[in-house]
Amino acid sequence: MAVGLSEPVNILPVAGIELASVACGIKSRGREDLVLIKLDSDSTCAATFTQNSFAAAPVLVAKKHLAQTHPRVLLINSGNANAGTGEQGIQNALQSCEWVAQALACKVEEVLPFSTGVIGEPLPMEALGAGVTAASQHLAVDNWMAAVRGIMTTDTIAKAVSKQIMIKDRPVTITGIAKGSGMICPNMATMLAFIGTDARVSDAYLQHCLDGAVAKSFNSITVDSDTSTNDACLLMASGASNNALIDADSDDAAAFSQALDEVCLYLAHAVVRDGEGATKFISVNVVAAASLKEARDVGYRIAHSPLVKTALFASDPNWGRILAAVGNAGIENLVAENVSIYLDDVCIVSGGCRDAGYTEAAGQRVMHQSEIIIKVVLGRGEVETTIWTTDLSHDYVTINSDYRS
């Protein structure tokens, strides 16, 4: 059960972006597994992709196509990652793009493919081709919720959000969907996310906004420290709102960027809240660091520690595990006596050892909560950051040991 997360409501259509979702037989039990997203001809796109050295075939093809032209159609399948599939995987991804181009009268390079699911298995091309044909006949602007269900794998709940802002007295909509639950540790953004807006935004500023939003959201989450081969986050701007073009020098640039940040942060939190087997949502807040790098190093060391994560699952205030993780983060010349650590409002470590006022009962009270803040004060500078993660439960092991069954 996702931690503090409910089904999305009030998901708004985005003018200039149509979607369709069908079940073509890639996933079992008739679940939707193929999605098309069609963009108006004047749309612009920005993207970030996984940095995994074994990037999947669709990632390689999508990056190549994105460098050649403005995309018109996205093709997403779930249930099969088309990763670790060699040259045949590339050819299958290209063939999929050709089928989409034929169905929707666009160029092959205007199609971006995305896949998620089991690694190392060839795409079932006959089923995928039939799915493209079916989906191309059901495109509509109000299919965002159908689309998010079509990209889910081990997710237990749909992840979607909408936000509206005013740009020069014109309403601008931003709607985003994401999938992700396991194999979550960002090296871009460990999941798939598709965000659409009807705003007119310059290519350069669109990419600038996405890079900034991803750094503060999808690139600040982890469930299990594993980075996927297929990660992608795509931001689409249709321009259908006919607002004055937004670029870095626009009066409305900051408002658009902030709204995108909020959409991405909601989706990133939703991925963590639905982490495989998660029972708790953990914010690791590192403050008074000398640099962003050392703050993130400390945050991730805590968030990745199986000893810390299992203690969180057991509601055990074993503060020594957190202390050890901080000390093992590789921070040069860290002065232990200057470090303080808190569980929410409870100081557990000060002066490099257990705080004099700490009691087991106070720590236990916090650890029984479903949402917990671990705050680390390094006493070295003025930089801070937050990493979001989960506990590590028996169910995580069960889900991943049975993943291909």
Q: Phi then psi for 365, rounded to 5 degrees? A: -60, -45
Name 310's bridge partners.
none
- Range with the lowest mean pLDDT among 18-27, 47-56, 199-208, 393-402? 393-402
* CB distance 321 to 307 below 8 Å: yes
> Is 6 within a domain?
no
Q: Is-contact 39 236, C-beta < 8 A?
A: yes
Q: What is the predicted pLDDT for the residue at 380?
A: 97
Burial bucket for residue 128 (CB in 10 Å: 0-12, 13-18, 19+): buried
Interval 302-338: pLDDT, tens: 999 999 999 999 999 999 999 999 999 999 999 999 9
372 part of a folded domain: yes
258 and 392 co-located in one domain: no
Say yes or no: 193 and 219 in one domain: yes
Q: Are residues 164 and 301 in the same domain?
A: no
Provide the pLDDT confidence category of residue 231 given band limits of 50, 70 and 90.
confident
CATH number at residue 28: 3.60.70.12
Which of these three, 230, 246, 273, is where a domain ends? 273
Q: Is the pLDDT of residue 189 over 50?
A: no
Query: Is 1 part of a structural domain of the chain?
Result: no
Tell the residue number behind the tokens 């006022």, with chain if given. Answer: 357
CA gap 110, 19 in Å, rounded = 16
Which among 273, 299, 334 is the end of a domain? 273
- d(CA 285, CA 88) in angstroms, rounded, equals 44
In a domain, 4, yes or no: no
Mean pLDDT of 214-220: 93
* Residues 22, 70 share a domain: yes
For 275-291, the pLDDT digits (tens) are: 888 999 999 999 999 99
Catalytic residue among 116, 190, 222, 390: 190
Structure tokens at 120: 């190392």
Does one domain contain both 258 and 295? no
To the query of whether residue 190 is one of the catalytic residues in this protein, the response is yes
- CATH number, domain of 394, equals 3.10.20.340
Tokens 């989409």 locate to 100
| One domain, residues 207 and 310 | no
For residues 32 and 127, give the distance between their C-alpha atoms in angstroms, rounded to a whole number: 12
Higher per-residue pLDDT: 187 or 63: 63
Domain residues for the domain of 186 are 17-273
The radius of gyration computed from the CA coordinates of the chain, to the nearest angstrom, equals 22
Angle CA 237–239–240, to nearest 5: 120
User: Is residue 357 located within the same domain as residue 310?
Assistant: yes
pLDDT beyond 90 at 379 = yes
Q: Which of 273, 294, 314 is the last residue of a domain?
A: 273
On whether both 131 and 249 belong to a single domain, the answer is yes
193 & 45 share domain: yes
Amino acid at 393: S
**What number of helices (H) and strands (E) belong to the chain?**
11, 15
Paired with 74 in beta bridges are 37, 112
Asked if residue 331 belongs to a domain, the reply is: yes
Asked if residue 122 is part of any domain, the answer here is yes
Q: What angle do CA 235, 101, 175 make, to 5 degrees?
A: 20
Residue 174 in contact with residue 201, Cβ under 8 Å?
Answer: no
Q: Is the pLDDT of residue 68 over 70?
A: yes
Do residue 222 and residue 344 come from a single domain?
Answer: no
Instruction: Name the amino acid, one letter, at 9.
Output: V
Q: Smallest Cα–Cα separation from 102: which of 62, 68, 75, 70?
A: 75
> Any idea which of 26-30, 94-98, 127-131, 309-313 has the lowest mean pLDDT?
26-30
Based on the fold, state whether residues 72 and 146 are members of the same structural domain: yes
pLDDT on residue 405: 47
Q: Is residue 52 a contact partner of residue 227, using CB atoms and an 8 Å limit?
A: yes
Do 218 and 285 fall into the same domain?
no
Number of domains composing the chain: 2
215 is a domain residue: yes
In a domain, 25, yes or no: yes
